[in-house]
Structure 1
């Protein structure tokens, strides 16, 4: 087994989801049409997720109702992650 393969097994993945859509109201997080959500992607770390989020948010700056979010998937997949 290579060094890279063994370290990949011991390190936990910190997956992040970036998605967005048009909100019903500026003061909420309910989407106008959930079937039209823009799933930007799943990223292996916070830095790459934030870069993708920033790019999408800046590209939709003319629509005040468009919002993009970063979801920390690793916290959903492993709720005890932060307790370690």
Structure 2
């Protein structure tokens, strides 16, 4: 069985288009939690493409499994 590797996809308007500091934490779009990097990237890509015309809206994939199990630095989820 493949190990579950949780990923969070979230986004919103950022203060700087090159940064990751959000303008308003209450307005963050929590897209969802996914069990693989591939699923998370698919969700991220859909949101990123839908907001491509707004340079200050950014979406991110957060590797929750690395935060939940910091000792697993060498996980392979490709």
TM-score, normalised via structure 2 length: 0.88
Q: Which residue does the alignment assign to 1:23? A: 14
Give the Å deviation of 1:26.
1.7
Unaligned 5+ runs, structure 1: 1-6
Structure 1 stretches of 4+ with a deviation exceeding 3 A read none
More RCO (CA 8 Å, sep 6+): 2
In structure 2, do the counterparts of structure 1 residues 13 and 36 end up closer, same or farther at CA, with 3 Å as the change threshold? same
Match of 2:50 in 1: 59
- Which structure features the higher share of helix residues? 1
* Root mean square deviation of aligned Cα: 1.4
Q: How many residues were matched structurally?
A: 75
SS at match of 1:20: strand
Q: CA deviation at 1:12?
A: 2.8
* TM-score, normalised via structure 1 length: 0.82
